[in-house]
Amino acid sequence: MRKTTLLNSSISEEISKMGHTDSIAIGDCGLPIPKETRRIDLALVKNLPSFMDTLKAVLAELKVEEVVIAKETKEVSPEIFEEIKKEIGHVKITFVTHEELKKELKNCKAVVRTGEQTPYANIILKSGVVF
């Protein structure tokens, strides 16, 4: 059995295959996921699992050098934005429109769908290196 915190085998698999600057996204239950991008669906019921719980679990495993967030997140859901900033620390934040973020999902290795129902609770994590 794994000793690290992340137990989801599909997410662990994607993280283990990621190289420098590869990306993975975490989204709310309404985020449209492109057909060509792997969907890892965790959504059970309203707000379970939460976006933040999922983000914390992924950040425990993945070295992140940059995140991409929709500008709308900061404006419409400032509580989520503040929680994201707290969790990522000094990682670079790139802001794009929500439409641009959705287009960028095609370049992600996977999108993790949560049960979150907070508007714009979406993020793209770009992998860093550990050396």
Is 101 part of a structural domain of the chain?
yes
User: Contact 33/114 with Cβ under 8 angstroms?
Assistant: no
Any domain includes 98: yes
Buried b (16+ CB within 10 A) or exposed e, 56-95: ebbbeebbbebbbbbebbbeebeebbebbeebbeebeeee
Q: Is the pTM higher than 0.85?
A: yes
| 27-77: pLDDT as tens digits | 999 999 999 999 999 999 999 999 999 999 999 999 999 999 999 999 999
94: domain CATH number? 3.40.1650.10
- HSE, side-chain direction, 13 A CA sphere, residue 72: 12
The reply to whether 20 belongs to the active site is: yes
pLDDT band at 129 (very low <50, low <70, confident <90, very high): very high
Q: Let me know if residue 1 belongs to a domain.
A: no
Indicate the pLDDT class of residue 5, thresholds 50, 70 and 90: confident
Tens-digit pLDDT profile for residues 81-126: 999 999 999 999 999 999 999 999 999 999 999 999 999 999 999 9
- Residue 65, domain extent: 21-127
In a domain, 7, yes or no: no
Given the residues 5, 9, 17, 20, select the one marked as catalytic: 20
Domain annotation covers residue 97: yes
Q: What is the pLDDT of residue 1?
A: 64
Structural domains in the chain (count): 1
Place of tokens 């969907």: 39
